[in-house]
Amino acid sequence: MAISKSAAAKKTPSARKRGRKPALYNASPEELLTFYRQMLLIRRFEEKAGQMYGMGLIGGFCHLYIGQEAVVVGLQSALKDGDSIITGYRDHGHMLVADCCPKAVMAELTGRSGGISQGKGGSMHMFDVEKGFYGGHGIVGAQVSLGTGLAFAHHYRGNDNVSMAYFGDGAANQGQVYESFNMAKLWNLPVIYVIENNQYAMGTAIKRASSEVELYKRGESFQIPGKQVDGMNVLAVKAAADEAVAHCRAGKGPIILELKTYRYRGHSMSDPAKYRSKEEVQKIRSEQDALELVKAMILNGGMQDEAELKAMDKEVKAIVAEAAEYAQNSPEPDLAELYTDVEA
Amino acid sequence: MTAGNQTYAAALNQALNQAMAEDTNVILLGEDISESVFGVTSGLREIYGPKRVMDMPISETAFVGMAVGAAMTGLRPVVEIMFNDFMGVCFDQILNQAAKARFLSGGRLKLPLVIRTTMGAGDSSGAMHSQSLAHLVTSIAGLKVVMPSNGVDAAGLLLTALADDGPVVFIEHKGLYGDLGAVTEEIIPIPFGEVKVIRSGSDMTVVATSAMVKPAVEAAEQLGDEGIHIEIIDPRTTSPLDLDSIIASVAKTGRLLVVDEGAARCGIAADIAAQVQAECFKALKAPIAMVTPPHTPVPYAPAAENAWLPQVSDILQAAKRLMAGN
């Protein structure tokens, strides 16, 4: 395990090598509360999705984001209108932070006509182009090429927008990732390759599948700079995101961010997670939880007290409950929809 | 007004030029396309610049994926896969990403992407540069598939592809690039899903695709001399397929022969045969016949390759058996 023990204080391995402390974003109280609220929304949403899966209301594959919340919250706080986001199958968190409608996302999980893809996509296949969210992709690594294409389009149109292409430590071993790196640097496309390193590719620990486990180095032979970031600390993520976004907007081409993070649940709902111990999970939950870290900052900084945070939790739970209610009551898709949105 | 006799390759070039002049969203991506192995994209980089005509590294998966991503934003990439055999390298991007984007997004996404590629045997290119794989992409819901048999159709169909919200797989036959045709100065789009009746006849329907149209016509001329009248239908697009027109023709003639350079099994010919018999079995005077290559890889040696490829003699033989009722 390479996650730093106390995210705010301890250096990440990369920072150690470079002999400097990991940069932390200096958040205002309002920003910190916003980060906390967004992370809380993801967690409560995913907990509810997990429950509903258990009740048989959600079928097939369902990959929960619990544990990794600081990654999307920190990264996407650095984006602006017109920027693009694309990710793999573990996509609920990315959507919620991109301001996609929680009701439409939950109703997609239940496969209803009110779902964001009208029940045709399911958990892994959701899109909201108006919000800059380009999916939600089921094939590991394929979104890296697509995300390079989103950056290509920004470059072609000559705007200063960026593409944020997320993938995991598992996808980092797909060949098209490196083909994409080559092309992105060749043409200096504005793409931030975000490697969400949650330590396990399905059930295979990173060191069992990767000859080089420091994934931020994977761009070196393409001359793409890389940085390892404590993905459990939203302020470290935000600082790295600002730097990466500025790099891309300045026309300097692609950049790689490796976010060291951890998922608390199994790979998908059907994963009993026998490849790691309960103690390992519990240790990270109790010592490095992204929400607890920010909560402590809020309380210690006197920004809000316990009662106010409880009220926020209640508010967030109400949003999630409303989404769950909608997702159960929205009608099943009309069977005629089988034949729409498909060519030939 | 016609631009005189133009090759199939030049006609495609003209269609690309016309679309690029009209819409700056149309961009060309592919390996060596500024040089252009077959001449289809020649000269366009000089006119539209390196930003719109981009040579790609040998990375089919990523550059097809990049084109899919760019198309999601409304650009209209025309991506060239030099030989359709190379679709194997990037099939995930075609099968999963391009074909399903619109459906999986519940219609939120359009994918105005054209994948241009080449098919066909006959020049000793060997088994990995000679296949005809239209059936693979035709079998995937969400892809439109075009396989023009002549330059005039090629230009008109490509113009339609370039304006379509796609994705379209546009399969050109290498053996046809030098064929001449009377292409108009301004190319008129040809709609997808409409067959072309190459010649009318009352005794037998021959459905022939791509480069198989030419030997079918030659066979029909010989049979005409013997008093057998062949109707030749070129589907032009296998997805969408204008099945109604084929069925109407078979209902009239009572006999169907399908000639395709693709797979002997699970191919375009088998697909059309199955669909037609289900619709007009009672009109058939003989079992539906197919002429395809054998179920083997394309051989290199010229004599073997000729034996592998459907020839006029194969079509004649099959047609005569059909006329004899077996």
Which residue has tokens 């932390």? A24
- Asked if A86 has any chain B CB less than 8 Å from its own CB, the reply is yes
Site from B103, B194, B239, B243 to mutate, A interface, most A CB atoms within 10 angstroms: B103
Number of domains in chain A: 1
Of the candidates B65, B72, B143, which has its C-beta nearest A343's C-beta? Answer: B143
**B129: annotated active-site residue:** yes
> Is residue A241 assigned to a domain?
yes
pLDDT of residue A344: 52
pLDDT of residue B325: 83
Q: Tens digit of pLDDT per residue, chain A (344 long)?
A: 444 444 444 444 444 444 456 799 999 999 999 999 999 999 999 999 999 999 999 999 999 999 999 999 999 999 999 999 999 999 999 999 999 999 999 999 999 999 999 999 999 999 999 999 999 999 999 999 999 999 999 999 999 999 999 999 999 999 999 999 999 999 999 999 999 999 999 989 999 999 999 999 999 999 999 999 999 999 999 999 999 999 999 999 999 999 999 999 888 888 888 899 999 999 999 999 999 999 999 999 999 999 999 999 999 999 999 999 999 999 999 998 888 888 65
> Is residue A125 assigned to a domain?
yes
Nearest CA in chain A to B61: A176
Alpha helices, DSSP H only, in B204-310?
A: 213-225, 243-253, 268-280, 302-308
Q: Do A120 and B106 touch (CB under 8 A)?
A: yes
Contact list, B97 vs chain A (CB under 8 Å):
137, 139, 142, 146
Say if CB A190 and CB A261 are below 8 A apart.
no
Answer left, alpha or beta for residue B124, where phi above 0 means left and psi between -120 and 50 means alpha.
Answer: left
Residue A188 DSSP SS3:
coil
Nearest Cα residue to A302 out of A33, A37, A69, A8:
A33
Question: Mean pLDDT for each 10-residue chunk of chain B (326 residues)?
Answer: 78 97 98 92 97 97 98 98 96 97 94 98 95 98 98 97 96 97 92 98 98 98 96 98 98 98 97 97 96 97 97 98 88
Say if CB A65 and CB A93 are below 8 A apart.
yes
Name the DSSP letter for residue A147: H
Spell A5-29 as b/e; 16+ CB within 10 A means b: eebbeeebebbeeeeeebbbbebee
Site from B53, B66, B135 to mutate, A interface, most A CB atoms within 10 angstroms: B66
As for the ipTM of the complex, it is 0.93
Per the structure, the complete domain to which residue A166 belongs is given by: 5-18+25-328
> Is residue A174 assigned to a domain?
yes
- Other CB atoms within 10 Å distance of the CB of residue A211: 6
Q: Taking the CA of residue A105 as centre, how many other CA atoms within 13 Å lie in the half-sphere pointing to its CB?
A: 29
Of the candidates B59, B65, B241, which has its C-beta nearest A142's C-beta? Answer: B65
Q: Do B72 and A342 touch (CB under 8 A)?
A: no
> Is residue A342 assigned to a domain?
no
Contact list, B142 vs chain A (CB under 8 Å):
342-344
Q: Do B57 and A179 touch (CB under 8 A)?
A: yes
- Other CB atoms within 10 Å distance of the CB of residue B227: 7
Structure pTM?
Answer: 0.93
> Is residue A337 assigned to a domain?
no
**B60: annotated active-site residue:** yes
Burial (0-12, 13-18, 19+ Cβ within 10 Å), B118: buried
Say if CB A12 and CB A260 are below 8 A apart.
yes
Quickly list DSSP for A158-184: T----EEEEEETTGGGSHHHHHHHHHH
In the set B80, B129, B173, B305, the catalytic residue is B129
pLDDT of residue B189: 97
Quickly list DSSP for A248-306: HHTT---EEEEEE---SS-SSTT---TTS-HHHHHHHHHHH-HHHHHHHHHHHTTSS-H
Say if CB A228 and CB A292 are below 8 A apart.
no
Say if CB A332 and CB A110 are below 8 A apart.
no
Say if CB A257 and CB A216 are below 8 A apart.
yes
The Cα–Cα gap between B307 and A13 comes to: 65
Give me the sheet containing B144-146, strands edge to edge: B53-55, B26-30, B76-81, B114-119, B168-173, B144-146, B237-239
CA B113 from chain centre, in angstroms, equals 16
Q: Do A340 and B107 touch (CB under 8 A)?
A: yes
Name the DSSP letter for residue A11: P
CATH code of the domain containing A168: 3.40.50.970
CA distance A85 to chain B (A): 11
Site from A179, A182, A186 to mutate, B interface, most B CB atoms within 10 angstroms: A179
Q: Taking the CA of residue A22 as centre, how many other CA atoms within 13 Å lie in the half-sphere pointing to its CB?
A: 29
Contact list, B145 vs chain A (CB under 8 Å):
344
Q: Do A341 and B63 touch (CB under 8 A)?
A: no
CA distance A206 to chain B (A): 24
Structure tokens at B175: 């053996």
pLDDT of residue B3: 55
pLDDT of residue A11: 46
> Is residue A334 assigned to a domain?
no
> Is residue A226 assigned to a domain?
yes
In the set B60, B172, B231, B261, the catalytic residue is B60
Contact list, A120 vs chain B (CB under 8 Å):
103-106
> Is residue A333 assigned to a domain?
no
